[in-house]
Amino acid sequence: MAITTSPELQQGALELLILKTLSLGPLHGWGISKQIRQTSRDVLRVNQGSLYPALYRLEDKGWVTAQWGISPEGRRARFYTLSAAGRKQLTRETAAWRLFSGAVNHVLQTT
C-alpha cells in the first residue's frame, strides 16, 4: 500500500519529513521526494503539488535556505539546506511526533 500526501491533511507531517530528509544534507526537490519514497520503502509518495509549496513555506519561515547548484547528474537544480532554526524545529517536531504517534498506537492497542 502506498500513501500519497495530500496538502490539507498531512501538511505538518510532510514538513517534518522534509526537515528530516534535509538533516542528512542539502538536496533538490526531486531528490527530497525520491529520498522520502525510498526511506519509507515506497510507502510514502510525496505529491509534487504539495512538495514545492511546502518547501516555499519552509523557506518563508526561514527553516530552510535555497541556492542554485549543479546536481550530480550535471544539471542546474535548486538545492535546499536545513538552517539552524530548521534544525531546532526538527528536534521539536520529532519529539512532538513521537509523543503523538506513541499515544495513537497506545489508543489503537488498548481496544
Partner 1 sequence: MSLIPRWRRRLRALFRKTAVDREMDDEMRFHLEMEAEEAVHDGMAPAEARRRAMLVFGGVQRFREEGREARGIAAIEDLGMDLRYAARTLLRSPAFTIVAVLTLALGIGANTAIFSVVNAVLLRPLPYDRPQMLMSVWDGGHSKAEFTRVRDQNRTLERVAAYMDRVGFSVSGDGEPARLTGAYVSADLFGVLGAHPALGNTFAPGDDLPGTDRAVVLSDALWRERFGADIEIIGRRLDLDGVSHTVVGVMPRDFWFPRRETRLWVPVQLNESIRGDFWGSYGHFIVGRLRAGVTREQVREDVRAIGERLRLENPVWTPTDYYLQGLDVIPLASRIVPSESRRLLLVLLGAVGMVLFIACANVANLLIARGTAREREITVRATLGAARPRLIRQLATESLALAGVGAVAGLGLAFGGVRLLVGLLPPETPRLADVSVSGGVLLYTAGLAVLAGLLFGLVPALRLSGPDLAASLGDGGTRAGTGIRQRRLAGVLVAGEIALSVVLAVGAGLLLRSFARILAVDPGFRTEHMVTARVSPPKARWTDPEQHRRFYQELLDRLRGSPAIAAAGITNQAPFEQTNDIMAMWVDGYTTNPNELEVMNHRKVTPGFFDAMGVPLVRGRWFGAGDRANAPPVALIDEAAAQRYWSGKDPVGGRLRYPWPGWVTIVGVVRTVKNNDLTDQPTPTVYVPFEQAPLGPSHMTVVARAASSPVSALAALRAAVRELAPDVPVSDERTMTQRIGDSVAQPRFASLLLLSFGALALVLGAVGTYGLMAYTAQRRTREIAVRMALGARARDVLGAVVGEGARLAAAGVIVGLAMALALTRFLRGMLFEVSPTDPLTFVVVPLVLGAVALLASYLPARRATRVDPMIAIRTE
Residues that bind partner 1 (CB under 8 A): 7, 28-30, 47-49, 52-57, 59-62, 68, 71, 73, 75-78, 85
CA 80 – CA 99 distance, rounded (Å)? 28
DSSP sequence for 17-56: HHHHHHTTS-EEHHHHHHHHHHHTTT-EE--HHHHHHHHH
Residue 16 neighbours by CB distance under 10 Å: 18
Question: Least separation, in Å, of the C-beta of 100 and partner 1?
Answer: 24
Choose between 60 and 109: whose C-beta lies nearer to partner 1: 60
Shortest Cβ distance from residue 94 to partner 1 (Å)?
19
Minimum distance of partner 1 from residue 53's CB (angstroms)? 4
Query: Which lies closer to partner 1 via its Cβ, residue 23 or residue 48?
Result: 48
Identity at 46, one-letter amino acid code: V
Of 73 and 106, which CB lies nearer to partner 1 in the complex structure? 73
Residue whose entry in the numeric block shows the C-alpha cell 547528474: 73
Q: Which is nearer to partner 1, 85 or 104 (CB)?
A: 85
